[in-house]
Amino acid sequence: MVIRKPFELPPAIAKAFVKDMKAFFAEEDATKRDATAAHQLSVLREYQPPREEKLRPSDVKDMFFEIKKIAGLWPIRSC
């Protein structure tokens, strides 16, 4: 089994991820939420190692929900 080091994001990119995550949960329109997730997907793919399995939009949404759950900052609301 090969253990790979997780990719790291520059601080500015990580802060933008959190900002978009907050916007994702604040948005009521599902289309706009999808657009926010798609934007983060394109940003994260730039920093993803080439041999890793490519991220999908659902992966970004899952990340948003997992981080929200772990951080406990906002009440969890399903999409």
Better-predicted residue by pLDDT, 67 or 74: 67
Its domain, for residue 60, covers 32-49+56-72
The answer to whether residue 63 is domain-embedded is yes
The answer to whether residue 42 is domain-embedded is yes
The answer to whether residue 44 is domain-embedded is yes
The answer to whether residue 9 is domain-embedded is no
Task: State the Cα torsion 27-45-9-23 to the nearest 10°.
Answer: 0
Q: What pLDDT was estimated at residue 15?
A: 92
**70: pLDDT strictly greater than 90:** no
DSSP string of 30-52, one letter each residue: HHHHHHHHHHHHHHHHHHS-TTS
The answer to whether residue 39 is domain-embedded is yes
> What average pLDDT does the chain have?
85
Q: What pLDDT band is residue 8 in, cutting at 50, 70 and 90?
A: confident
